[in-house]
Amino acid sequence: MDSTVENVAYSPKNVFILSGQSNMAGRGGVEKHHWDGVVPNECHPDASRIFRLSAHLHYEVAREPLHHDIDAKKTCGVGPGMSFANAIKDRVEAIGLVPCAVGGTAIKEWAHGQHLYVNMINRARAAMSHGGEIKALLWYQGESDTLSQHCVDTYKANMEKLIHDVRADLHLPSLPIIQVAIASGDEKYIEKIREAQKAIDLPNVVCVDAMGLQLKEDNLHLTTEAQVKLGQMLADAYLTHFAPQEPCVATS
């Protein structure tokens, strides 16, 4: 039955880019390179309303793990994308998720012209060519930049440039950006990176703080439950700051 469903040509209108590093790609439920396969209710697929753009640029029904063919060199598990989509679907109708995150990547690897950046832009353009309108970029990255003073010193400027470049290349000067302030990383510099993230003051850029969400035993990756919560926090940020107001519906 699923194969029949996924052969339908979908063209969801409301597109969200999921990008950054491993906590966006999802490591919830992954232990020793094996995903436990547990999918919380908040992350269940919805074959009528939530779709994902595959590595081959085709839409299919979205299901965990969303990044399995994007962050393909690592084992992916539950991330924030599905709980985000399920939390907003009643407000925005059909949703297209565009996974782009790759684990272990520093901000400099997402610079304009770099492979990761080019791939993200190409995938976003493919979603637009399917008739979609990009509603927001969800960004969770920075753990890999807690390793040196140089990374700290350049992070804010690099992140602001990334935002400007994405908006310019997609011809969306007001594209909403919802970034996550990191919850883990090298203790020496984590607070400095968080400060840089929260200090970004650009139009249509908001920050969701992951600090306090439960980490796995590796003290780096969010647990499955924490990923569900993060997705809901991202949804709240989107609905509060960027979503159209709920239409008035006549009742009989």
| Active site members | 22, 218, 221
CA distance 97 to 69: 14
* DSSP symbols for 135-169: EEEEEE--GGGSS-HHHHHHHHHHHHHHHHHHHHH
Check if the beta carbon of residue 88 is closer than 8 Å to that of residue 12. no
Task: Identify the H or E element spanning 177.
Answer: strand 177-181
Measure the CA–CA gap between 84 and 86, rounded to whole angstroms.
6
Residues 6+ apart with CB under 8 A from 213: 183, 222, 223, 226, 229, 230
Residues 181, 198 contacting (CB under 8 angstroms): yes
Say if residues 79 and 229 touch (Cβ distance below 8 Å).
no
CA–CA distances in Å: residue 155 to residues 107, 143, 150, 160: 7, 11, 8, 9
Q: Check if the beta carbon of residue 242 is closer than 8 Å to that of residue 136.
A: yes
